[in-house]
Chains A and B, each alone.
Chain A
């Protein structure tokens, strides 16, 4: 199969667009819950019932506006969010043993409408002369830049890569969102006037001191570093990939450098491992085995991701710790040692070892933290090596430096990064201008930072008997 056909057929979107009729019917199903659980389940606290009712009442543009008010990255989140454990997983229809509302696809319906008609609901704020630097054009940085522009700050985004978007452009599985869609969103986010300096690495091309001189405040959204090493012999052999590089090639839709594989072994059992497994299968690998040193019930991948890997035909090796990658020039197999979980939760290595033949190994055992860079920027770290922040304001240990996204949470989701960017934008603004409460045009989105409503229906609980 030619690469083009392969992508069209095997990388079809998991959550395709909704037709207008479908959107109308599905949106009409929403009960419009009060204080809806889906609003709380969304880290950016989008008013889900409201945007769905707007679709039902044929105000699709207004619906898109409601979404972007609370989540600048609503367009990509509609595609990449693990909604089964977020909004859709909290839908009251589940308590009724009914299908939850398809919130993500409705969200996509609304933001697609904005993109297709080139509509931008918000304007930049009046220039307040307090420029802010954003490091990293990933979800966290872009979200922060968008809200800072709404608040009137001149913003420059520094991105070390040539292609912006962070993992939205380089990491997210291609059948969830194409790189093109991610880049469309980046382009639209920058339309509010943030300047993108791509190919500029802070700490190398530009120093922290220089930033400090030119900008009133800095937001750090640098994400995480490269995939962790296994530290076993054979790791340098030809055919051994780290998950991020492997996925990067898939996302660029240039498969030649990956070569062909009869049998691929993916090491690790998180969501990235699943992405490596499914995208190996979809790019033509014969057998794909996922190997994990613990058991099935310990894997950190979401159930629905695991189910996807199974339906793609993956095989699984549980309680198998890799001790060596075998082969002379090219990888020929992996040697595993059997493990057993002890009562206290720790892992015991058993005597038994066994070899599994393969011609490709993909390492997916988590990303490293950019501790070196953080220290170079003068930012304090927490015990886990994440950039330490005040959880309310996202201020770091360095004055007027804020941080958010994977770099502070150790690696969560796009929507968490988007929420952090929004939170930081408001607190940067507050710290630079002394504002305590937002101007009326910002009251709504600022309230969503803490998931609050502007007006609350009182709860007469104190009158309850007992």
Chain B
């Protein structure tokens, strides 16, 4: 069996799966139970100054897509609403019982040096293995000048990180907010402030919907709603993009990352790791199904590593990051066309209508049946196919439509080279564009 242990920015854990700072990591009792199930670490529900915050009801909303419950989750919950002393006592107890597991204290206090120094000292005294600075929470706390109000301004991010690094003895992760235009700026600021790593993403600003009977927000607090933070399966691609940007930014390349956002399965986690994360955090999936999901997370990861011949996580962390490049480096001479496997086709004609109404009008229904009783099997007009993928995406049958590479015989050519050459060298791979 592969070695799943990890070291993320100096925080060690028996496996890379951590509970994200959120309700699953709200108390010592929960965190210990999670560790018993097999979680490698937990980022405690964000701690703040006393008196604790007061939360509202209700707090969560979700979108369901078809039969899929909670494709996306939204919340207007604040940081922990329990007294700091209770949390510190429990952190201490957990660490005593689980010395090998990672317990990371998530922190959020006003942007003053004294406040940060005070809380860092207290959580480190309680025995935590690392700190996560919550510069990401997009609702409520941000109105009070904390959370994403810090994460959205790189100078603040750097300054508060510096305050913490002045006295922290344990590694410091800065948790980034996705509610910005370019994630590289706050990541660079965190690094400049001395952070040992970053964790991302926190939740995305969101309004879950409007109730068409009452005309008030869905998931309201007495008829009124505030924007909340969005997470769950729907946000994974956004998180992956941000992770890859930090991986590939020359200024932050190599900065340890803890990946968060929409992870539900072991394969989701592997994707984050392939783009450079050395640990991953989960919230929504745990809130949907409970701590037990970690059993399959660990088993799936281990089996995949065995199949691929990876012995430890470092063997593959970051391997895919270089494959994400800027558009201008893509090969204009690469060509694929859609091929429909007639024997797999169930004749729903979703590809037909998608291509003809919204892509490149190159899927046809032959006048004569393609085989006995098969009057509705579409055929791709390959010369005209631009290889956009749409048909294969709408096809409900696995492997029925495959995008098949075509040899063009032309040397690779990128947009960058093309424009540098004075727009020369492009061999008109797609006739239709020019006919």
Q: How many Å lie between the Cα of A92 and that of B377 in the bound state?
A: 12
Are B350 and A33 closer than 8 Å at their CB atoms? yes
- B348's nearest neighbour on chain A, judged by CB, is A33
- Please give me the residue from chain A that is nearest to B374 by CB atom: A95
For residue B376, which residue of chain A has the nearest CB?
A37
Query: Are A457's CB and B66's CB within 8 A?
Result: no
Contact present for B365 and A28 (CB under 8 Å): no
Q: How many Å lie between the Cα of A32 and that of B396 in the bound state?
A: 11
Per-residue CB contact flags for chain B residues 258-276 toward chain A (1 = under 8 Å, else 0) read 0000000000000000000
When chains A and B are docked, how far (Å) is the Cα of A35 from the Cα of B361? Answer: 17
Please, what's the 1-or-0 string for B353-397, where 1 marks a CB less than 8 Å from any CB in chain A?
Answer: 100110001111111000000001001010010000000000011
The docked-state distance in angstroms from the alpha carbon of A142 to that of B246 is 69
Interface residue SS majority, chain A: loop
Let me know if A56 is at the binding interface, CB within 8 A. yes
Indicate whether B29 reaches chain A with its CB closer than 8 angstroms.
no
- Shortest beta-carbon distance, B54 to chain A, in Å? 35
Q: Which of A93, A463, A464 has the most CB of B within 10 A?
A: A464
Check if A463 sits within 8 Å of B347, measured CB to CB.
no
Q: Which of A24, A28, A36, A460 interacts with B356 by CB under 8 Å?
A: A460
Complex contacts, B364 vs chain A, CB 8 Å: 459-461, 463-464
Q: B67 an interface residue at 8 Å Cβ cutoff?
A: yes
Interface residues of A in 185-221 (CB under 8 A from B): none
Q: How far is the CA of A464 from the CA of B379 in the complex (A)?
A: 8
Task: Return A27 CB to nearest CB of chain B, in Å.
Answer: 9
Closest to B351 in A: A34
- CB of A282 within 8 A of chain B? no
Taking a contact as CB atoms closer than 8 A, the residue among A28, A34, A96 that contacts B66 in the complex is A28
Residue of B nearest to A35 (CB): B349
How far apart are the CA atoms of A36 and B356 in the complex, in Å?
16
Q: CB-CB < 8 A to B349: which residues of A?
A: 33-35
Contact at A461–B66, with CB atoms within 8 Å? Answer: no
Bound together, the chains give a CA A35 to CA B377 distance in angstroms of 12
| A460→B361 contact, CB < 8 A | yes
The total of chain A residues at the interface (CB under 8 A) is 24
A259 at interface by CB-CB < 8 Å: no
Q: Are A96 and B397 in contact (CB under 8 A)?
A: yes
Q: Is B352 an interface residue (CB 8 A)?
A: yes
Point out the residues of chain A lying under 8 angstroms from B384, CB to CB: 463
B218 to chain A, nearest CB (A): 13
B396 cross-chain contacts in A, Cβ below 8 A? 31, 96
A458 near B346 with CB under 8 A, answer no
The smallest C-beta distance from A146 to any residue of chain B, in angstroms, reads 31
Contact of A460 among B353, B362, B376 (CB under 8 A): B362
Q: Is the CB of A347 closer than 8 A to any CB of chain B?
A: no
Within 8 A of A (CB), among B42-81: 66-67
Cβ-defined partner of B353 (8 Å) among A25, A34, A92: A34
Least CB distance from A195 to B in Å reads: 39
Residues of B within 8 A of A458 (CB): 356, 361
Closest Cβ of chain A: how far from B375's Cβ, in Å?
9
- B376 partner residues in chain A, CB cutoff 8 A: 35, 37
Given contacts A28-B67, A464-B379, A464-B381, contact A459 B365 (CB under 8 A): yes
Closest B residue, CB atoms, query A58: B212
Whether A464 pairs with B352 at a CB distance below 8 angstroms is no
B363 to chain A, nearest CB (A): 8
Interface centre among A31, A34, A37, A461 (most CB of B within 10 A): A34
Q: Would you give the shortest CB distance from B370 to chain A, in whole angstroms?
A: 11
Give chain B nearest CB distance to A38 CB in angstroms: 11
The answer to whether A34 touches B352 (Cβ under 8 A) is yes
User: Does A29 reach chain B (CB closer than 8 Å)?
Assistant: yes
B347 contacts A37, C-beta separation under 8 Å: yes
Expressed in whole angstroms, the Cα–Cα distance for A459 and B381 within the complex equals: 11
Q: In the complex the two chains form, is A31's CB within 8 Å of B365's CB? A: no
Bound Cα distance A29, B350 (Å): 14
Q: Name the interface residues of A141-193: CB closer than 8 Å to any CB of B.
A: none
A459 / chain B contacts, CB cutoff of 8 Å: 352, 356, 364-365
Q: Which residues of A contact B348 (CB under 8 A)?
A: 31, 33-34, 36, 92
| Cα distance, A164 to B380, chains bound together (Å) | 54
B81-109 near A? 1/0 per residue, CB < 8 Å: 00000000000000000000000000000
A90-118 with Cβ < 8 A to chain B? 92-93, 95-96
CA distance A28 to B353 in the complex (A): 20
Contacts of A460 in B (CB 8 A): 356, 361-364, 381
- Which single residue of chain B is at the shortest CB-CB distance from A90? B347
With A31-B396, A461-B364, A461-B365 known as contacts, the answer to whether A95 contacts B352 (CB < 8 A) is no
- With A458-B356, A463-B381 known as contacts, the answer to whether A32 contacts B350 (CB < 8 A) is yes
Of all chain A residues, the one with the shortest Cβ separation from B349 is A34
A-B contacts besides A24-B67, A34-B352, A463-B384, 4 pairs, CB < 8 Å = A31-B396, A56-B66, A96-B397, A460-B356
Task: Pick 5 A–B contacts, CB within 8 A, sort by A.
Answer: A29-B67, A31-B350, A35-B353, A96-B396, A457-B356
User: Sorted from nearest, which 9 A-B pairs have the closest CB atoms?
Assistant: A28-B66, A34-B353, A34-B349, A33-B348, A95-B346, A461-B364, A92-B346, A460-B364, A92-B348
What is the interface of chain A, defined by CB distance below 8 A to chain B? 24-25, 28-29, 31-37, 56, 92-93, 95-96, 457-461, 463-465
